[in-house]
Amino acid sequence: MIFDLIKNRRSVFPVQYNTKPIAKSDIEKILEAANWAPSHKKTEPWRFKVLQGESQAKLGMFLSLKYMEKDPNPKEFKVKKLIENPKRAGAIVAVCMQRDPSECVPEWEEIAATAMAVQNMWLCCTEMGIGSYWSTPGLIKYMDEFFDLNVGEKCLGFFYMGYSDEEIAEQTRTPIADKVVWM
């Protein structure tokens, strides 16, 4: 049931992943789920770059070097985390948004549509037993130095995926009644 799937979706972080690889066919299914997100005027702004193997290690090295370059007081634990987390994932999907060249809709709607595509990916991962996590590091603004981005394309974050042997904790929410005004 979709409601149960929504309630069971969790952030599963790279440190929780085991070494089991994710099949290309499973990644393709996850990306196909993303492709069915709604978008105003059918602009379909989501773009994805899949990283596996060596490209994950290269991403980690890029992020750590960029962090050390930009932070006047880089912290050793953060440098290590930036290097190691990408290598722990079964795959990483760089989540990008391609701005409609005619700008027929506001940019925030394109970002929202891309976020809905990520939610579809997250729900698909949950159904398939694959842990996932959307990371939006401050270093994201430098990703045009790592990826060959098209004009009007920007990277919005990284969708980490991996299998986990850990029991994923139950999540709670404050009551919806606290967040709704009936008029």
Residue 63 above 90 pLDDT? yes
Confidence of residue 167 (pLDDT cuts 50, 70, 90): confident
Confidence of residue 168 (pLDDT cuts 50, 70, 90): confident
What per-residue confidence (pLDDT) applies to 1? Answer: 84
46 annotated to bind ligand:
no
Closest CA to 84 of 168, 166, 162: 162
Confidence of residue 181 (pLDDT cuts 50, 70, 90): very high
What separation in angstroms does the CA of 140 have from each of 13, 62, 95, 143, 173? 18, 11, 10, 5, 29
What is the pLDDT of the chain when averaged over all its residues?
A: 95
Tens-digit pLDDT profile for residues 137-157: 999 999 999 999 999 999 999
Number of H helices, E strands in the chain: 5, 4
What per-residue confidence (pLDDT) applies to 136? Answer: 94
CA quadruple 124, 127, 130, 131: dihedral, nearest 10:
90
Task: Please give the radius of gyration of the chain, using alpha carbons only, rounded to the nearest integer.
Answer: 17
What per-residue confidence (pLDDT) applies to 170? Answer: 83
Map out the domains of the chain with their CATH numbers: 2-179 (3.40.109.10)
| Helices assigned H by DSSP within the chain | 2-8, 24-34, 54-70, 76-88, 107-128
Euclidean distance between CA atoms 5 and 94, whole angstroms: 24
10 annotated to bind ligand:
yes
Tens-digit pLDDT profile for residues 76-119: 999 999 999 999 999 999 999 999 999 999 999 999 999 999 99
Residue 179 above 90 pLDDT? yes
19 annotated to bind ligand:
no
Residue 51 above 90 pLDDT? yes
135 annotated to bind ligand:
yes
164 annotated to bind ligand:
no
47 annotated to bind ligand:
no
Residue 15 above 90 pLDDT? yes
Count the residues in the chain.
Answer: 183
Residue 171 above 90 pLDDT? no
What is the pLDDT averaged over residues 63-82? 96
Q: Which residues contact 146 (CB under 8 A, 6 or more apart)?
A: 59, 62
Percent of the chain with pLDDT over 90: 92
173 annotated to bind ligand:
no
